[in-house]
Structure 1
Amino acid sequence: MLKPFLASRSGNIAIMSGVLLIPLCLAVGVAVDYSRYTSAQRHLQEMADATSLSLASTQERSNAKLTQMANDFLSSNQNTNRVQQLRLDGLDTSTEMIDVTVGGSIPATFMALAGYDRLPVKASALAERAVRGNVEVSLVLDNTWSMSEADGSGQTRMEALKDAAARLVDELLITTDNSVRIALVPYADYVNVGADNRNASWLSVPNDYSNTSTSKETCVTETTVCLARNPKRTCERYRDGVLETYGCGNECTKTEVRQLDQPQCSGGKTSTTAYKWFGCVGSRTGGNNRLGDHNTSVKYPGYVETSQNCHNPIVRLTSDKKRLKDAIVAMSPNRGSYKPYTYIPAGLVWGLNTISPTEPFADGLAYDANNVRPRKVIVLMTDGENTLLYNKNNGKHASGSVPSLNAAEKQTAVAALSTDCTDAHNNCGNGKGKLKDTSSYQQTNADTLSLCTYASANQIEIFTVAFKVDDATARQMLQLCATDEAHYYEASDSAKLAAAFSGIAQSLRVVRLAR
């Protein structure tokens, strides 16, 4: 009986199914839990990617505030059906990147039978802020006397500009591949192209010289004595928009002529006055040569003078961060008694020249019709309106009356001016809009807009920054000069100026996931 029983195969399937049922159930349970785990992992990675990109796209740099922003973003966007106990495990930030690590867990279902109640989930993402491709940026920065004004804290406009410009350089030059090059053009009434360019083919500078003269000796036997004067008082005047006080009054109201005991003689002395070139240049003369980088055979005029009447030299396109920042630190609204006025076209034309592929410098790559390879950018900053006029006879920039343009020149100069456009960004005229202006500096404002139009025609982006500009005409001119509304910034204090320059840097960088 035993042998037939052992040889029987009936009922084996039921027995084996009973034995295998438990591991089969565990396998199915593990598969279900793994599917839920991979879903949670995908969701967590999506959260990490989105958080890092969101933080990298902001202008915030405080680690504490970025941490709060990350936590708020995670709590607002998590799906509790896919992952629970979502938290920020790590946040590493710098000027050029945001590295985010997030964690969470899901409750185990079948794997709890094996002692795993919850399954941990982790993900990380690295977002980079970087300038892509070849970029050429010209910083055209106001160095006029009005930049010496201080705010309530004692910080001058120039100090605020230095801080903002230095940060911009830091934010753009974060790589060492020379893909980003920056030029610096400190401008006022004139621009300094560097005395080492004296013999350049695009420049015309007279030779240095000296005048030696001997005054004629004269003798007098009587003198006029003042017996009564008006009271001394304090008077006010504006210099480049800056209110200055000075001593006035004290005029002589009563005089008396008196005989001298013996003759008094003066003169008879020899003096020498030296005239030299310090690097200062004016505008090119003839037609519209002052309004672009065309007609390279027409030279820029350099002026020999007794003292330097322009600021520090231009810094040509470079990726040398230290050189640029040293030049920014050296900027000043004056040089001794030299307190310059504002002539924006001088800065703009040299901003154009620094990134132009043609002379004077020919440092820029060839213009790209799409402004992509390379991307060319001018950043124009000023704190006030134009306060000088162009002299067509010698290219100088002077206050007051200068020789008028002929009919053809005047028609070209005022082509950007009209009274039929009220919207700063409408489509009248050449597409840049036209400027209402009844001031005495119509020609200079028109030249400013003509240079902006010329740059735009070559697909150069123009950012403009109006720093504490009260004049409505000047603000409108800067709005029209900018590529579009997004390229125009108004800054009423140093914090807003810093934000404007940071915003420009942000516009030139691409935020992307690097991991």
Structure 2
Amino acid sequence: MKMMPEKIKKSLMAFTAGRKKLQQSTGLADFGRKLVRDTRGMSGAIMVASVIPIIAIVGLATDVSRAYIVKQRLGTALDAAALAGGRVLNDTAAVRRAEIQQYFDANLPNGFMGATVEGPYEVDEDGNVLAEDYVYGNDEDVLRLKANADVNTVFLQLFGVDSLDVNTDAEVTKEISLLDVVVAIDLSGSMQTSDVGGGSRIYAAKQAAKTMINILFGNNAENPLLKIGVVPWSGAVNITNNGSKYGFEADGVTPLAAADLYTTVAVSPSVANPYEIQYYSFDKLCEGSKWSPDCSSAIPGNGYEVLKNYQATINNIYYAHNAPSVPLLAEPPTGWTGCVYARYAREEAWQYKQTPSSDNSTSLDEAADIYDGPVEIVGGKSWIGWYPIGDENEYSNYVAYDFNGDGSIGSSEKYYDGYRCDMGRLANETSSCTPCPDYGITKLQSVKQVVWDAIDDLDATSGGYTNIPQGLVWAWRVLSPGLPFNEASVISANSNTINRAIILLTDGENTRRSGDTYNRMLSDRNNRLLEVADAIKNDPDNNIQIYTIQFAESSGSLATLLTNVATDEDHYYFAPDAATLNTIFEEIANELSSLRLSK
């Protein structure tokens, strides 16, 4: 057998190897085709492939949510800061900035959610940042703030976004919605003292009150939404129109005709006079008798009725030409200076040399000094008006009489000397009486200049004393709708909010004098003052806020009293000097100006 040639052998071997490779290649292809057709485990593969975009979406939502929370908190803080700054808009820049920053920080803690905050900044209407020492004029009533925050991201840093910027702004507009205010200023003699810096106490009080007027009115000569009244007071209140003089024309010089002095209005049915004349009469010379006109004296005509133009039955009430809304129980006496009694009538008789008691329970129960307008006490007196005070409460010129005939005026004859008024004699007091204040009431009105002039003209009354209950109660009467004054704002179709406030300023404790509006018979003036304050606070129709200011005198008991008179302790202020007093009036004015978020 011949051997196969070598060349052919190699070819067969190559063919066999190629066949094996071909067989192997066909197996891999089959495996590939099977793998493609097999769907088992595909969800896991898809999930692995989508992890990266899911992480990106979740990260974006998380970081954006954090930024949104910061923006909300930033807006809340900026609103609070704007309202706080608006309340002191016309104060110094330092005070305003401090208020803004304090309320902003309180509502957005430092580092909140890792944010870096810029602001708050005060800006103008075009968004330009104002200087830190910017001072707002009285005619500017809008405060604008803006702030921004840089919020660090957590997940978005993986995609090159390190932080998100958020910003917001706020705007408040100061506006007054039907605001009635009465300023009741103490004109007692101590207000002439110059110990508060910058002049006398009364000068400082006037300047501070005018600061408040400037803030409330701004540059407006008249504001129909704002009414301010002024009640000057000391031992009494002059209830006539400020600047007027009874019996004279507006010029204070030309006498009025008798027919024009007052208007008479009949009372039907008539009522008994709440003042009983037996308690308001004395015999100027007769020792040993009661103070009544029934003592038989060696000198005829000495039985003396203290009250002027007295009638036991009230058939008419009278309206003086310069107090046309205050009903009087008697014709105004000649030379009437404008004051009235406090609707507290004594009901006790006493002997010639006795000092009458005070706070007679019946007198208190039947008094109407703590009421607003005319009132009838249940089961008691009808107080349909006020009794005018004549010269019985002024210094008199009766000549002392030596009825003992010993050539001198003894202590028993002091009751009719030439230095005390008749009401002082009636009260068996040797201290002098005090005059009615020269300044009358400025009724609620909307004209800035009239209010400004009324305050600017004030001066303390020499020899005047302090009767705080009368100052407060007449402020209430001026502020409340209805008699005896009726200038107060009322709800109309164009308004639904009325704010009413009394600002009561005094520099001392209550005092008593002969011939005061309580006939000196009411000693506990403090309790009476608290009763007046309670009546005002409990007035359901008027919602009156009472601000009290203790000026110059640092008495602890007075502080306690005035704190209790105020609406609450936040409405009581102590001003040791003129600068502090001015700041207090600024603060009150800004509180009275209602603020609204306008953006």
Compute the TM-score of the two structures, normalised by the length of structure 2.
0.52
CA distance change for structure 1 residues 182 and 390 in 2, over 3 Å: closer, same or farther? farther
After superposition, where does 1:402-413 map in structure 2 within 5 Å? none
Name the count of aligned residue pairs: 390
Q: CA deviation at 1:97?
A: 4.8
Taking the aligned partners of 2:390 and 2:71, their CA distance within structure 1 comes to 70
After superposition, where does 1:298-377 map in structure 2 within 5 Å? 298-301=385-388, 303=390, 309-334=436-461, 338-364=462-488, 374-377=498-501
Query: Secondary structure of the equivalent of 1:203?
Result: coil
Return 159-168 or 63-72, whichever deviates more: 63-72
Aligned residues of 1:348 and 1:380 also touching (Cα < 8 A): yes
Tell me, which stretches of 5 or more residues in structure 2 are unaligned?
1-35, 37-50, 124-134, 245-320, 346-365, 376-382, 396-433
Q: Which amino acid aligns with 1:493?
A: D
Q: CA deviation at 1:477?
A: 3.5
Aligned residues of 1:188 and 1:311 also touching (Cα < 8 A): no
Q: CA deviation at 1:487?
A: 3.1
Aligned residues of 1:181 and 1:318 also touching (Cα < 8 A): yes
Q: Which amino acid aligns with 1:514?
A: S
Taking the aligned partners of 1:109 and 1:449, their CA distance within structure 2 comes to 63
Query: Secondary structure of the equivalent of 1:182?
Result: strand
Aligned to 1:161: 205
Taking the aligned partners of 1:349 and 1:70, their CA distance within structure 2 comes to 38
Q: Which amino acid aligns with 2:441?
A: I
Q: CA deviation at 1:449?
A: 3.3
- Equivalent of 2:368, from 282, 285, 289? 289
Query: Secondary structure of the equivalent of 1:139?
Result: strand
Aligned residues of 1:389 and 1:397 also touching (Cα < 8 A): no
Aligned to 1:46: 76
Deviations 1:67-89 (A, max 9, x none): 35655766773565757442126
- Whether 2:168 is the aligned partner of 1:123: answer yes
Q: Which amino acid aligns with 2:386?
A: K
After superposition, where does 1:175-190 map in structure 2 within 5 Å? 178-190=224-236
Aligned to 1:421: none
Aligned to 1:418: none
- Whether 2:577 is the aligned partner of 1:493: answer yes
Deviations 1:479-515 (A, max 9, x none): 4433333333332222332344344445545554332
Taking the aligned partners of 1:148 and 1:386, their CA distance within structure 2 comes to 17
Taking the aligned partners of 1:349 and 1:444, their CA distance within structure 2 comes to 13
CA distance change for structure 1 residues 204 and 105 in 2, over 3 Å: closer, same or farther? same
Q: Which amino acid aligns with 1:86?
A: V
Aligned to 1:467: 551
Taking the aligned partners of 2:112 and 2:344, their CA distance within structure 1 comes to 74
Aligned residues of 1:91 and 1:98 also touching (Cα < 8 A): yes
| The structure with more radius of gyration | 2
Q: Identity, % of aligned pairs?
A: 26
Aligned residues of 2:340 and 2:386 also touching (Cα < 8 A): no
Q: Which amino acid aligns with 1:355?
A: L
After superposition, where does 1:425-504 map in structure 2 within 5 Å? 442-459=523-540, 460-471=544-555, 473-504=557-588
Taking the aligned partners of 2:99 and 2:537, their CA distance within structure 1 comes to 38
Deviations 1:98-132 (A, max 9, x none): 32111233468999999987654321112345555
- Equivalent of 1:90, from 97, 102, 121? 121
More strand by proportion, 1 or 2? 1
Q: CA deviation at 1:316?
A: 1.0
Taking the aligned partners of 2:489 and 2:181, their CA distance within structure 1 comes to 12
Taking the aligned partners of 2:341 and 2:202, their CA distance within structure 1 comes to 24
Tell me, which stretches of 5 or more residues in structure 1 are unaligned?
1-9, 11-20, 209-274, 406-412, 414-441
- Whether 2:505 is the aligned partner of 1:381: answer yes
Deviations 1:21-70 (A, max 9, x none): 99999999987776565455434323322432444466993224543565
CA distance change for structure 1 residues 72 and 463 in 2, over 3 Å: closer, same or farther? closer
Aligned residues of 2:476 and 2:502 also touching (Cα < 8 A): yes
Taking the aligned partners of 1:348 and 1:32, their CA distance within structure 2 comes to 61
Compute the TM-score of the two structures, normalised by the length of structure 1.
0.60
